[in-house]
Structure 1
């Protein structure tokens, strides 16, 4: 009996040390990620430091700091994750070796849960409000509606799907915002974490399987939700799996004085107000109107008094004029190649001016005349005179926008 105790005791100490290390490692990594993520003011400084390590220590000369790309999955971002993993392990090891009392760091764990709660709540509210009204997924532009499905990127397919259904996008944003609100309060934090995790798993899967470059960030939000419910894992297992009565942990405020409690409540109200105010700005965003918006299919084209065949496969004739954004116009040529221009529509003078860039000379200067069933463009393309008859197609003329919702479908409308 004594021999067994003597053998098991060092094993138990080693096991406890490993668990304490893993616990501290997770906590350290959480802070490293939060303070260096895309919403942190330290992001740029930290990435510059990681970039220096890549070039001078790891000899990764090809790594670059590419700013404002919209991608969170750059090579440097993966290096940031690797460096965070290493620093978190070092921080945990230093604490373990210097902590003579072998503390469990229970208070640090609960404080970290609070930090993660508010961080994930901010993210959920931000992305949720962005989906409620013409934010993250605006209605599909003329250029997108004219694009062939087979030529779309997987990410473009997701944006097209979301942009084609205002209702689905609104509900998606509402669910994300609900998850954020639930995380703001201690009594609903566990439900909020489970709710947010369910929503974000779907988001992460879309990012992974449609190659949306937010894989790192969305995966971490899911893992943060797991971290928040980890303290209630046993209670949840007993309730959902074993069907036994269980009770979730509730961390009460430890402030013994009234003024401290009131101060905490006041700070919390300010934080919530800041989250809502900073996230709800997209609710009041109205995209600028696009004069002459539409796709203009060329029915007849005359250049220098000579008619250009529409069925030809040349790079001279125009097949379509796409006016999809304010200040931008695309021309699809007969050979199906596309040329993008800066387009200025003057509705007073009824003119369309095309330039490659603001400083370039005018590429095309066209007057337009709206007739009953067509629109005539006449003017110059470079030194050539041109006149073309076009048929306009508006957003509401596309099947994707025109179909709408039907309770009853005798046959599936799968076109």
Structure 2
């Protein structure tokens, strides 16, 4: 095998060439996470000259990691790594092994995995990556969700499940820290990241490339212990003495332990302290004024050009926006800034620069909105709709189910 945690004095040709390729490829890939835009000129040339791509693409995926640019970047890295490993073989043909470089490479891969497992694990534990079911979600029809939106709401529905998924990633990261437990960490990483990758693949979530590479990194670390894993789990035999490389002196081990503790503290603190303000804003701070779902019981508009465009629901989740659903089941977001002191609402379509000022009056569970929208007078009477009216939020958890409720 290419990787091993033992010191091997002489590597065969395949082991050396494959290590050179993997070292170059993953080094380029990891660096590209932070420097993707620097490759823009050559990627644009590859796209237009080699693949004859006629549409516009760039390094800015706006949250997507599976862009044309990203795939072309992988193609470039594959070519560079292939050519580089050949050149490396010719200029370094007399070297018998790469034990020290391999050790440093695997340590680097572990650090990268720990960083991202902690990052995504902690924000899941705070229930921040996949947001909970919102008021806007409850009035949205099932069929209007994208596959990614469906997956996001599935994960976000249960804070307990989100915490469990995040904790699994954090535990995998913790197991990767120590050399004694890194094999267990690699197995845990493969299990966790395989689930993430399949979810990205099956629900069209545009992080397929990134999650697949994290999965591959876990596989590389596991392959370093392939002899032990295969011997114990498959062959069910004693593999004998297994001396890890390098053998560290007591002083070196102490320094490494201190460094690992510092690294663990820094990474944990970084993601906990950056996640808590968002957690506080979403779950601790008071909700925005008029928060909730308001169902229209009476709607009057000056011209009444299209009754199907009359409001049916107003769902308010954020401080400055509201989601409005009309009778034809069209749902759109609007600027909706509430001033509870003046009892006014600054209202406009999200794309409009001109903002109308509406007046509102709240009496218990009744809400009255009046004023002019784009020079049309409007008078709306709404009643607050409790979340218990929706099966999704009222069903709850049941230990005993005499019959399945699958609607």
TM-score (norm 1): 0.86
Q: Output the CA distance in 2 between the equivalents of 1:255 and 1:80.
A: 39
Distance 1:330 1:56, change over 3 A: same
The aligned counterpart of 2:394 is 402
Kept after mapping to 1: 8 A contact 2:46/2:72: no
- SS of alignment partner, residue 291 of structure 1: coil
The aligned counterpart of 1:299 is 297
Structure 2 residue corresponding to 1:182, chosen from 175, 185, 190: 175
Aligned residues: CA RMSD: 2.6
The aligned counterpart of 2:281 is 287
Structure 1 residue corresponding to 2:384, chosen from 392, 401, 404: 392
Q: Output the CA distance in 2 between the equivalents of 1:219 and 1:84.
A: 16
Alignment map for 1:152-191 (pairs within 5 Å):
152-191=145-184
The aligned counterpart of 2:97 is 104
The aligned counterpart of 2:74 is 81
Alignment map for 1:264-275 (pairs within 5 Å):
264-275=256-267
Distance 1:180 1:395, change over 3 A: farther
Shifted more, 192-201 versus 345-354: the winner is 345-354
Is there any run of 5+ residues in structure 1 with no aligned partner, and where?
1-14
Shifted more, 371-380 versus 109-118: the winner is 371-380
Higher relative contact order (CA 8 A, sep 6+): 2
The aligned counterpart of 2:371 is 379
Kept after mapping to 2: 8 A contact 1:292/1:323: yes
- SS of alignment partner, residue 343 of structure 1: strand
- Per-residue CA deviations over 1:387-414 (Å, capped at 9, x if unaligned) read 2221222445432222221111112122
Does 1:195 pair with 2:178? no
TM-score (norm 2): 0.88
Kept after mapping to 2: 8 A contact 1:29/1:85: yes
- SS of alignment partner, residue 226 of structure 1: helix
- SS of alignment partner, residue 137 of structure 2: helix
Does 1:238 pair with 2:231? yes
Alpha-carbon shift at residue 139 of structure 1 (Å): 1.2
Does 1:324 pair with 2:317? yes
Alpha-carbon shift at residue 58 of structure 1 (Å): 5.7
- SS of alignment partner, residue 360 of structure 2: strand
Q: Output the CA distance in 2 between the equivalents of 1:386 and 1:131.
A: 43
Structure 1 residue corresponding to 2:20, chosen from 15, 24, 33: 24
Bigger Cα Rg: 1
Alignment map for 1:48-87 (pairs within 5 Å):
49-55=42-48, 60-67=53-60, 69-87=62-80
The aligned counterpart of 1:123 is 116
Shifted more, 153-162 versus 48-57: the winner is 48-57
Alpha-carbon shift at residue 120 of structure 1 (Å): 0.6
Kept after mapping to 2: 8 A contact 1:302/1:387: yes
Kept after mapping to 2: 8 A contact 1:141/1:325: no
Is there any run of 5+ residues in structure 2 with no aligned partner, and where?
1-10
The aligned counterpart of 1:92 is 85
Distance 1:86 1:197, change over 3 A: same
Alpha-carbon shift at residue 36 of structure 1 (Å): 1.1
Shifted more, 227-236 versus 283-292: the winner is 283-292
Alpha-carbon shift at residue 77 of structure 1 (Å): 0.4
- SS of alignment partner, residue 80 of structure 2: helix
- Per-residue CA deviations over 1:204-261 (Å, capped at 9, x if unaligned) read 1000001000000111111111100112112211211121123695635556583x55
- Per-residue CA deviations over 1:300-355 (Å, capped at 9, x if unaligned) read 11234x9x6xxx96454222222222211232223322343211011122222212
Distance 1:250 1:330, change over 3 A: farther
Aligned residues: 391
Does 1:223 pair with 2:223? no
Q: Output the CA distance in 2 between the equivalents of 1:333 and 1:96.
A: 67
Shifted more, 369-378 versus 218-227: the winner is 369-378
Distance 1:249 1:194, change over 3 A: farther
Shifted more, 342-351 versus 353-362: the winner is 353-362
- Per-residue CA deviations over 1:52-107 (Å, capped at 9, x if unaligned) read 54346665453521525111000000011111111111221111111131422122
Q: Output the CA distance in 1 between the equivalents of 2:92 and 2:128.
A: 49
